[in-house]
Amino acid sequence: MNNIYSAVKLTTLIILLTVSLICVLSEPADNENWFLIFISSKIAGIVTAYVFYRLAKHWHCNDIKTITRYCDEEDL
């Protein structure tokens, strides 16, 4: 059962990081609301990156070994 929880937690972090990178690095297609879509995608990327950081730090500080075995202490 712990392996399932570990896989879900790791998958959650990977999905959040992927969404964050896509939002931050993407550029919208040409249309009339280009600037609004551009800014909102960057804000969404920053918010998901912050959620990723807080979850990783929470799991690291609570000494959850399933996540921390994949990274060093210096990474967080």
Domains contained in the chain, number: 1
Asked whether the CA dihedral 61, 64, 65, 68 is positive or negative, the reply is negative
Mean pLDDT of the chain: 82
Model confidence pLDDT, tens digit, residues 27-48: 888 888 889 999 999 999 999 9
d(CA 11, CA 18): 10
Separation in Å, CA 29 to CA 36, 37, 70: 12, 9, 37
Domain of residue 45, residue span = 2-75
pTM of the predicted structure, to 2 decimals: 0.73
